[in-house]
């Protein structure tokens, strides 16, 4: 039995993961509009992963006979200055999500809820990876400078993500 306050924070996380998907889809739309189709493809795949994250929390609530409560999802931003800003925002967002995951772990520990703490371990590791991969791209874009040719190459490389 998962305590009500823990159920509540997990339901909030389902919303946050769905918002992450929405945010990355918004970034995909912006990239497509800028003819950065490789980056758009990268964000579409990222959005898919975020939906899978939401479903992981969903399944946990289901398995523990908890109440699933779906909340409204805010629209994402639609405008960015350039591709660097997009990936900087993605990196900042992943850092924020890491903080949210840590809050769930802290609450689970406080409540002696080992099941929730254990389930969150996967997410703790996943966030390390997500932060690392977005920061790596931020740093790559910073190295490009103003060269259109290298931006084109990076876009192609991003489009190869599977
Ligand atoms: Fe996520
Ligand atoms: Fe993420």
pLDDT in tens, 118-153: 999 999 999 999 999 999 999 999 998 778 889 999
- Ligand nearest to the backbone CA of 94: 2
Distance of CA 12 from the midpoint of ligand 1 (Å)? 12
* pLDDT bucket at 4, cuts 50 / 70 / 90: very high
Contacts of 24 (CB under 8 A, 6+ apart): 43, 44, 46, 47, 50, 90
Helix segments in the chain, DSSP class H: 4-33, 37-63, 83-110, 114-144, 148-158
Question: Which bound ligand lies closest to the C-alpha atom of 93?
Answer: 2
Q: Encode pLDDT of 32-71 as tens digits.
A: 999 999 999 999 999 999 999 999 999 999 999 999 999 9
User: What percentage of the chain has pLDDT greater than the value 90?
Assistant: 95
What are the sequence ranges of the domains in the chain? 4-158
Residues that place a CB less than 5 A from ion ligand 1 = 17, 50, 53
* Fold classified for 4-158: Ferritin (1.20.1260)
Compute, in degrees rounded to 10, the torsion defined by CA atoms 25, 12, 134, 148.
30
Compute φ and ψ for 21, nearest 5 degrees.
-60, -45
Average pLDDT over every residue of 110-117: 98
148 Cα to the center of ligand 1, angstroms: 31
CA atoms within 13 A on the CB side of 21: 16
Is the full-model pTM beyond 0.85? yes
The per-residue pLDDT for 13 is 98
Distance 99 CA to ligand 2 centre (A): 12
Determine the distance separating the centroid of ligand 1 and the alpha carbon of 152, expressed in angstroms. Answer: 28
């Amino acid at each position: 039995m998962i305590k009500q306050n823990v159920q509540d924070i997990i339901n909030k996380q389902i919303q946050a993961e769905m918002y992450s998907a929405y945010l990355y889809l918004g970034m995909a739309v912006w990239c497509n509009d800028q003819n950065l189709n490789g980056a758009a493809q990268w964000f579409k795949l990222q959005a898919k992963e975020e939906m899978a994250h939401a479903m992981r929390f969903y399944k946990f609530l289901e398995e523990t006979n908890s109440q699933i409560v779906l909340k409204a999802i805010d629209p994402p931003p639609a405008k960015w200055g350039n591709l660097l800003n997009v990936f900087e925002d993605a990196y900042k967002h992943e850092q924020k999500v890491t903080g949210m995951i840590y809050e769930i772990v802290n609450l689970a520990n406080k409540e002696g809820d080992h099941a929730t703490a254990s389930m969150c371990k996967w997410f703790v590791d996943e966030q390390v990876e997500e932060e690392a991969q977005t920061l790596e791209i931020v740093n790559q874009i910073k190295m490009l400078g103003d060269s259109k040719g290298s931006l084109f190459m990076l876009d192609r490389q991003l489009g190869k993500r599977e």
